[in-house]
Amino acid sequence: MKRYLFARFSALPAIFAAAVVCTQPVRGEDLAVAYSQIASGFNAPTQVTSMRDGSNRLFIAEHSGTVQELSPTGEVRLFLDITNRVFERDGFCCNEQGLLGIAFPPEGKPKDHFFISYVDRDSNVVVSRFEISPETGVGDPASEKRLQVVPHPDVNHYGGKIVFHPTDGLLYWSIGDGSAGFNVIFAQDTFSPYGKILRFDAYAEQVPANLEIYARGLRNPWRFSIDSATGDMYIGDVGENTFEELNYIPGGTEAGKMNFGWGIMEGHFCYEFGECKTEGLDLPIFAFDHETGCSSTDGETYRGANPAWQGKHFFADFCRGTIWYTKRMDDGTWMTTEAIYWPDVAVSSFGTGDDGEIYFVGYVFGGVYKLELNAAPMGETAPGSDEAARGPRKGRRASSKKQ
């Protein structure tokens, strides 16, 4: 994910306890955001998602190669175990391998299968399809069908999120730049899969299906999301030494049009000292420096029952536990507000339930949490300066440039 972040934390034992605890207070004088813990004891969770089948179950991917199913009443059962295929730890530096993503079929497809992204024992980044056993209702490890296999040149920057697009039905897949410092050139290389958002037809007869580069110029897009209502894409790109990014692609954007500049830019600035050519590059809608955090975790756009929060996009910093929300204003600028500050939780991923509510997981403590969104509208401020666009400080709200 980020330099050596995963290696910094030891995973907790997988002892499950589904119990709602008290909703925590939020940081800020006029914010209507809180969270509640709905389950705990998961082993280094890397994603939370739902099947969107009306069952209100949540599925939690764990770093080591397992997926757990969490029922609405708090029962947990093992849904998939491929630990014997997953390369979880490299023993050298970064511990960024493992089970990285899970996606269930898009609208109109049967819910008898699902897709997993993981790093295998040969350090390949893999996307596979698994069938759900009709007898047990859980994933069948023996049913694996590999759809994509991309060799990885180093021990970190794997990316690994997979998301179905609500409009075109294609499976989108993030892959990092290959790391090792010199590999920054890969992110700009249109013949390389590294440092990209890729997409392909997961139901194509031809395997592997053709991979198409949807966006480039990314360092390590650990998490990204697609708004189910608009098709807008948000990408949390983990930075190098100075800035973390949240990038944006409007729904309906053609493949290959967006270049977020990694290898040339970091945040709103040239990556290396001196001047650089920025023509044709798409700068982040929000960036924060390493006084504010150290690793961008993209989240989800709210599409639940609360009308006051429709279209607000939530994201976080992995290191400090800060959660922000952002929204696009009528003039094209972005208003970003710090909602929650929770040190040490290590927000590794967000997801949505069947009802459109937003959940997130903490890598360190192994918890699953729900954002509690109250009906009161949030206070907003007018767009601020370029300095404010690079990230809020001590609870300040900030706006960003029009892209």
Lookup result for tokens 């639940």: 304
The strand ranges marked E within 63-170 are 66-70, 76-81, 99-103, 113-119, 124-131, 145-151, 162-164
User: Which of 347, 348, 324 is closest to 400 using CA atoms?
Assistant: 324
The strand ranges marked E within 8-112 are 33-39, 45-49, 58-62, 66-70, 76-81, 99-103
Given this model, what pLDDT does residue 319 score?
A: 87
The CATH number corresponding to 24-35+84-350+375-400 among 3.40.1170.60, 3.30.70.1450, 2.30.140.10, 2.120.10.30 equals: 2.120.10.30
Given this model, what pLDDT does residue 20 score?
A: 30
Q: Give domain limits for the chain.
A: 24-35+84-350+375-400
Cα separation, 115 vs 99, whole angstroms: 11
Report the chain (403 residues): mean pLDDT per 10 consecutive residues: 41 30 34 84 96 96 97 97 84 71 96 96 94 98 97 81 97 88 80 95 95 96 96 94 94 97 92 82 94 91 90 93 92 90 86 95 94 53 29 32 35
Compute the chain's Rg from CA coordinates. Answer: 19
Cα separation, 395 vs 337, whole angstroms: 8
Given this model, what pLDDT does residue 373 score?
A: 60
Tokens representing 320 are 């400090």
Given this model, what pLDDT does residue 344 score?
A: 73
Tokens representing 279 are 């023509």
Given this model, what pLDDT does residue 34 score?
A: 84
Residue 217 phi/psi, 5-degree rounding, is 80, 35
Given this model, what pLDDT does residue 8 score?
A: 36
Cα separation, 118 vs 88, whole angstroms: 9
Terminal alpha carbon distance of the chain: 26
In the chain, % helix, strand, coil (3-state, to 5) comes to 5, 35, 60
